[in-house]
Amino acid sequence: MKLLVVEDDETTGSYIARGLREEGQTVDLVTSGRDALIQATSTTYDVMVVDRMLPEIDGITLVKTLRGAGNKTPVLFLTSLGSVEDRILGLNSGGDDYLVKPFAFGELSARVAALARRPQALEQETILSAGDLSMDLIAREVTRAGQKIDLLPREFALLEHLLRRKGRVQTRTMLLEAIWDISFDPMTNVVETHISRLRAKIDKPFDTELIRTIRGAGYRIDA
Amino acid sequence: MALLRSMPFRLAMGLVALFSVVSLISLAASYVVTQRSFDQAMRADLMQDMAGFRAAPTAAALAALVEAEARETDPARMVLSYSAPGLGHFGNAMIARDDDGYRIVSVTQGNAEIDGRFLSLTASLWGGQLTVARSRGEIDALRDVFLNILALSLVPTILIALSGGLYLARRSARQVRIIGKTLDQLTSGNLAARVGPTRGWSDDLARIGEKLDQMAEAQETSVAAIRQVSSDIAHDLKTPIQRVAVHLDDLLRQDDLPDRAVVLLEKATDQLDGVVSVFHSLLQIAQIETGSPRNQFRAVDLVELARTFCEIYEPSASDKGQHLVFIAPDAPSLRVWGDRNLLGQVLANLIENALRHTDAGARIEVGLRHHGQSICLWVADDGPGIPAVERDRVLRRLYRLDRSRTTPGNGLGLSLVASIAALHQTKAVLLDNGPGLRVEITFAEVQPDPASVPTASAPISAKIEDL
């Protein structure tokens, strides 16, 4: 993947670039909106990570300009504010996702990966599987190693979400947004408790663990 | 009807009333004066008539004079009657007296009785009695003339004043409505709302509108300046916090760290998370208090929201041996006007608060009650509760009960609840659950009628859909 990071704070910018490079991505780092505009119009990127507040041309104007010129590269906004209004302004101006500072690198990396995979949307699969687990979306049945497993509706939704994104990390906040439509982070680790309920049903009684915890990031079912 | 109570209409009505009273008084006065002078003229005429008859030298001459005059006089206008013993009756009418008063019977017109009021003068002349009476019909007719003048002058005036008043009232009602709407919008956080230029001539209301726009302009500018400052502060503080997080994370990623260092680093990271959460909550409260999130309000189903949050926290509660129960109302959905995320934050904070301050075995209820036009959302626990004197204080920022200093939480949870409630034009009320704490928030229900719902911009989904 080829990524453009636009961040005026050098410490944060180089940290993001370094982390993403360690994951094997190609990263271009620029520190101003003007440079970003030149870079984004001359090179094709898979995802852009853009700080809202930039010298010269701010992030919102940058993305609006790019969208106006027909550039459709997914944009992840980084912001210091994180108010509802701010968030909606960011998403209205052409941003695709939003991350409030300070963030954990795992969160950023998972969201960048999610944005990069966006285009191939409508997969009409009716049976999802991982290892010896299979999930029938029509009969709403889950079996593992031939054993039928009863799941509550939200547990089913959680498992379906992870299975559809096999091989990609899903962070706690991404799961909260997708399963419960909540875009704030509760103080109690509610996602952990739901994951452990799900694990107790689909992982505990069996030898291998399907849902893996990725430290500092979230959860993943391996492809 | 509001129109009838409006200022221009009232003024018009007041003027109409004043004008009517003045007209009535002046017409009545001229009527009285005119009538009096008519009366005097009539008396003088009668005296003169009588004087003429007195000049007759004999009874026979008088009788002849009366007869001659009577022949040319209509008894309805003037009655002449002379009766003398031995000579008989002369004149155009006879005057008789019975129980009802005087009766005048016409002699010339076949004994017809004549109605109407007469002014009469009687004198004894030549042994007989002469009565001369003039009809007061003309004076009586004067009253009708004056009533007609009154009607002709007052009715059009009243009609014109009424319609003029109504027109002005409607015109000003429209302006008052525009100004009221603008003020409502300004109050609810839409600082870009303006009255705008008024059509037609400039009146007091238009000037008030202009002044209001100037005030809103100034307010918007200063709020924008304050926001700029706070977002600058947010940015300037969050950047170093982000850097610290980056350095800590870099350190944690190093392979050859001694265990003690890892423990310390993790503690530092936790502390930093705490700083971030306080900082974030303070910024959020500040932002909510500007009222601006109201621009994003739309109808939110509290039943769905409360059910979702009970479901989210249920495993956390049962892991601690607590019972989190949702008491569903009769209605399948109860909608209020608000921000789903912020209302969710209220539920999350109240439930987390209850979970944090109660022990294993505690029962935590989240419920909705519907009565009339209002919906009461409540979260109750059977834990230690909050002493009555402390209940107002816990809604303040960073205030914590002494016994809570050791439990997690940043002291902003309940104040965030209070400010979100205020944003939704309601109040979080803390009550004794005997034992435990009960927090109630009462909202106005959104009526199904779409006209009663303010229009909102199209919903924006921030969900990630990376299928």
Note the pLDDT tens digit of each residue in B213-253: 999 899 888 877 876 776 677 667 878 888 888 888 888 87
Which regions of chain B are under pLDDT 70? 1-2, 100, 108-111, 189, 199-202, 227, 230-231, 234-235, 397-410, 448-467
At B448 the pLDDT is 65
Closest chain A residue to B272 measured between Cα atoms?
Answer: A102
Check residue B442 and give its pLDDT: 93
What mean pLDDT do residues A116-133 have?
Answer: 75
Q: Which residues of B touch A53 (CB under 8 A)?
A: 235
Interface probe with B: pick from A193, A197, A215, most Cβ of B within 10 Å: A193
Is B179:B205 a contact under the CB 8 Å cutoff? yes
**A residues 85-144 lying closer than 8 A (beta carbon) to B:** 85, 87-88, 91-92, 97-98, 100-105, 111, 114-115, 117-118, 120-123
Residues B333 and B431 in one domain: yes
With CA atoms as reference, the chain A residue closest to B266 would be A216
pTM to 2 decimals?
A: 0.64
Q: What is the rounded average pLDDT of the residues A5-10? A: 91
User: Residue B195 falls within a domain, yes or no?
Assistant: no
In angstroms, rounded to a whole number, what is the distance separating the alpha carbons of residues B140 and B124?
Answer: 29
Report how far residue B268's alpha carbon sits from residue B252's, in angstroms, rounded to the nearest whole number. 11
Chain B touched by A84 (CB under 8 Å): yes
Does B49 map to a domain? yes
Q: Is residue B319 part of a domain?
A: yes
CATH code of B364's domain: 3.30.565.10
d(CA B317, CA B337): 29
The alpha carbon of residue B375 is apart from the nearest alpha carbon of chain A, in Å, by: 22
Give the residue numbers spanning the domain of B212. Answer: 204-287
Residues B48-72: tens digit of each pLDDT: 988 888 888 888 888 888 888 888 8
If asked whether residues B313 and B394 sit together in one domain, one would say: yes
* A15, A117, A186 member nearest B246 (Cβ): A15
B95 shares its domain with B224: no
B292 Cβ under 8 Å from any chain A Cβ: yes
Q: How many separate domains does chain B show?
A: 3
Would you state the pLDDT for residue B236? 76
DSSP conformation class of B99: T
Q: Which fold has domain A127-221?
A: Arc Repressor Mutant, subunit A (1.10.10)
Judgement on whether residues B416 and B362 belong to the same structural domain of the protein = yes
Are B239 and B306 in a shared domain? no
Enumerate residues 6+ apart whose C-beta is below 8 A from A139.
none
The answer on B312 and B281 residing in a single domain is: no
Tell me if B385 is assigned to some domain: yes
pLDDT score, position A144 = 92
My answer on whether B400 and B272 are in the same domain is no
What CA–CA distances, in Å, run from B26 to B22, B144, B150, B380, B387?
A: 6, 16, 10, 76, 76
Residue B464's pLDDT is what? 40
- Portion of chain A with pLDDT greater than 70, in percent: 95
Q: Parse chain A into domains and list their residue ranges.
A: 2-116, 127-221
Question: DSSP of B61-73, one letter per residue?
Answer: HHHHHHHHHHHTS
Q: What is the ipTM of this complex?
A: 0.84
Say whether residue A1 is in contact with chain B using an 8 A CB cutoff.
Answer: no
B458 touches chain A (CB under 8 A): no
Q: What pLDDT is stored for residue B455 in this prediction?
A: 45
Q: Are residues B90 and B232 in the same domain?
A: no
Omega before residue A102 within 30° of 0, cis: yes
Judge if B210 and B317 occupy the same domain. Answer: no
**Average pLDDT of the residues in A131-154:** 91
Q: What are the backbone angles phi and psi of residue B434, rounded to the nearest 5°?
A: 45, 75
Confidence tier at A50 by pLDDT (50, 70, 90): very high
d(CA B379, CA B365): 6
pLDDT, one tens digit per residue, over B307-325 is: 999 999 999 999 999 999 9
Q: Which of A80, A168, A188 is the closest to B316 by Cβ?
A: A188
Say whether both B303 and B440 belong to one domain. Answer: yes
- Domain finish residue from B100, B118, B140: B140
Other residues' Cβ atoms within 10 Å of the Cβ of residue B235: 17
User: Is residue B311 located within the same domain as residue B376?
Assistant: yes
Which of residues B119, B140, B161 is at a domain's end?
B140
Q: Does domain A2-116 have CATH number 3.40.50.2300?
A: yes
Q: What angle do CA B98, B99, B105 make, to 5 degrees?
A: 35
For residue B112, the model assigns a pLDDT of 73
- Boundary-marking domain end, from B140, B175, B195: B140
Q: Has residue A93 got a pLDDT over 50?
A: yes
Task: Kindly state whether residues B50 and B115 are assigned to the same domain.
Answer: yes
